[in-house]
Amino acid sequence: MIATIKENLDVEFSAITLTGDLMYDAERHALVLGSADGLSEILTTNLESQGLRTHADTVFIKDWSEHTGLAASLEASGVVQIVRAVNVGPFRSRAYEVRVKPAVESVARELAKVA
């Protein structure tokens, strides 16, 4: 199930700020930023090839290239909590495992859909 964590969220990347609705796909361990124009930006990465697996409520966010500072921006917005930093790949690039913190209003909205 895909849940909207926070609407109209400003997310800072290394060079730009994007605004949209932050959505969490628990089944795929993915955070997605959806914009009003219908485009979406996947914010997470899969590190299973590095021997790293996520937990039930966590995702990995890379901290290199255009994603530099993304995990810190999301944590400052109160939508994730950084759990740990890992270094991956031949250049030992940093990525963060973060715990998704669903907002109370998004949980209530999803429960209302089921009822």
Chain centroid to CA 5: 10
CB 68 within 8 A of CB 94: no
- State the pLDDT at residue 61: 97
Q: What total of structural domains would you count in the chain?
A: 1
CB 6 within 8 A of CB 20: no
Share of the chain above pLDDT 70, in %: 89
**Residue 110 confidence (pLDDT) above 80:** no
Helical (H) or strand (E) element with 23: strand 17-25
Task: Give pLDDT tens digits for 21-58.
Answer: 999 998 999 999 998 888 899 999 999 999 999 988 89
Identify the domain containing residue 35 by its residue range.
2-114
Q: What is the DSSP letter of 32?
A: E
Could you give the CA distance from residue 47 to residue 14 in angstroms, rounded to a whole number?
21
